[in-house]
Amino acid sequence: MGALVKQPVLRLAPSDVKGRIGRTALALVILVVIWPVVSFVYRPTYSFLGAAVVNLVGSDITVVPEAQEGGSIAKDTPRMDTVFHFDHKVYGRGGGAIPVSTFYHGYLPTAILLALMYGATAGSFASKKKVLILTLLILHAFLAFRLFMAVAAQLNASTVDGMPVLDLGTWGRKILLNVKDVFWDNLAVSVVVPVVIWGFFAFNKRPDLGSGHALKTERISS
């Protein structure tokens, strides 16, 4: 039998880890600090596209976003700046509405992903472009999904002629509310999801996904 060949062990380079953490943190701080300026564009864009995607389903009810801050509806939604109302084509505007924080429900997860791609992922912009586009598409699919869950839960709680607009039955309602609680009401998800998406692609070595070398490594023989 041939002699056994020891495989090299990959270890993280501490200096590079610290540098990437620092760059990622700095990028995220900058993106958060500029929110008051970016919000003038991001808030109406999120509202318009969010309502457009939800309304693609098609029904007698149209989701209409309006800028609104404060009020009793905002008590459980930090930094609420938008309300999604429901307009029925026959009965007009109903009492149900969804409080939205375009910062927490949209901008923050996007900012975290961008910061990670810039600071914690090695390579030039050209080498990261494919993965960046793909991760942004996946993230925004998630943002659309969480908004769908919030809208569906509100439609389930709303009635027309005494009947729920969206009748899912007892178990369907329980499942929907649990999903909404996790993905919409739990704002920690806005941090966790972009990190998970980035981590999956950053450490994936498949060439067709653009090899993501998140952290520089030192090759040490053992």
Nearest to 151 by CA among 210, 70, 83, 216: 83
Nearest-5° Cα angle at 94, 91 to 97: 155
DSSP 6: P
Share of the chain above pLDDT 90, in %: 42
Q: What percent of the chain has pLDDT over 70?
A: 77
Q: To the nearest 10°, report the CA torsion of 86, 156, 103, 84.
A: 0
Residue 159 has pLDDT above 80, yes or no: no
Position 127 confidence tier, pLDDT thresholds 50, 70, 90: confident
pLDDT at 42: 96
Q: What DSSP state is assigned to residue 103?
A: I
For residue 175, what are its two tokens? Answer: 């499942």
